Structure 1
């Protein structure tokens, strides 16, 4: 593949989609052409973060099922940054289309998109049976796995151990802790889960408010958002191969 493929994974409510969206913003701000693919097959969620809609002739299912060789036309352009494009399910309910998604169609989509973008990010799903998430994890060069401290997060981690082993993705995983809102001790969680964390993301109280307003955290400049963005810059350095590159 021509692009660097990055997957973001974690339990629901771990902050993974927020992270994936804002990492895409950080990378696009470095003059990289970035494609962001959602694995949500039930409803379109990426467009909420960007305050936009997915047009009827675009979107995830068109990208998976259309034989148009120009896959880039199925992505929606982020209006605030011409280097960032996203592929998400349309705004209206499309759950009945889920059965039409095959592993082969996802692999074909990712391979085609890798020829268009410098960096491709797949926002994975908690469900290990999700075909977009599963193929994205298998094909990714690196996987950022997010954990928000809780007993449920520990149980999810234990529950996906066989999946991680069967897919041979353990060596590609980079663990990130999303700081809790004071409702669970992060040190206790670390001792329970027995993982090392390469990065820790601060809790951003305004995250939901900004999401509903279609404003990525990366572009908002209060103290907490700047701290969150600083971690994104460090991770962008890892992906791009050096500071500011």
Structure 2
């Protein structure tokens, strides 16, 4: 039986990768085996969040290009959790491989990975042509779409409306507001987009600092990080159906 597939989506600077990493941490703490896949084809971003490197024999391109039944071996284990594994572009640049990524190959990889993990999270891309993100969107059971209120975010949301309609994914979307910390009025943004938000993530001032030292927000226990973590736990419960 395959596991649940969840995709995290949003425009540039929406906090989607931060959210995807920390959601994976929250889910893995519930005794779920969690796989996290980055859609970035040129830059290995997940290993920065986890403070680890990806060895040459592992990584996204190996998982895509090898018809390997043991796809779990291509994931890297997060050193702080026995239940969390991630798949990202290698630490050393391999951008020339990007042109060989096909939608069929991505679908095969996601399907194989969903048989290994209880929950598979795809960290999507804002650009619509990304094959990992695109496959993740239509294969997902739920799509958590992040918004950091701004004119740019509103333009991104308007720009994807036809794409969302053509893929018939609007019903799977759960919209999450990332607190703008006074930079943009939240009610104005809601009025511009016509959206209602199921969850609101607090502003974490030290998020960039924690990322630079490879510490997920969920594992850091100051007051604001705990508030962020409580939202993640609510979402984890929604995904797991109340399983603790």
- Calculate the TM-score normalised by the size of structure 1: 0.98
> In 1, Cα distance between the equivalents of 2:130 and 2:176?
22
TM superposition shift of 1:10: 0.2
Match of 2:239 in 1: 239
Listed as ranges, the matches of 1:122-137 within 5 Å are: 122-137=122-137
Unpaired runs of 5+ in structure 2? none
Match of 2:149 in 1: 149
Match of 2:181 in 1: 181
Structure 1 position 169 matched with structure 2 position 169: yes
Match of 1:229 in 2: 229
What root-mean-square deviation, in Å, do the aligned CA atoms of Structure 1 and Structure 2 show? Answer: 0.8
Match of 2:92 in 1: 92
> In 2, Cα distance between the equivalents of 1:126 and 1:56?
27
Equivalent residue pairs, number: 244
TM superposition shift of 1:183: 1.1
- CA shift digits 1:27-66 (9 cap, x unpaired): 0000100000000001100000000001100000000001
Structure 1 position 15 matched with structure 2 position 15: yes
TM superposition shift of 1:96: 1.3
Structure 1 position 67 matched with structure 2 position 61: no
TM superposition shift of 1:94: 1.7
Listed as ranges, the matches of 1:20-99 within 5 Å are: 20-99=20-99
> In 2, Cα distance between the equivalents of 1:19 and 1:64?
24
Q: Find the residue that maps to 2:203 and give its secondary structure.
A: coil
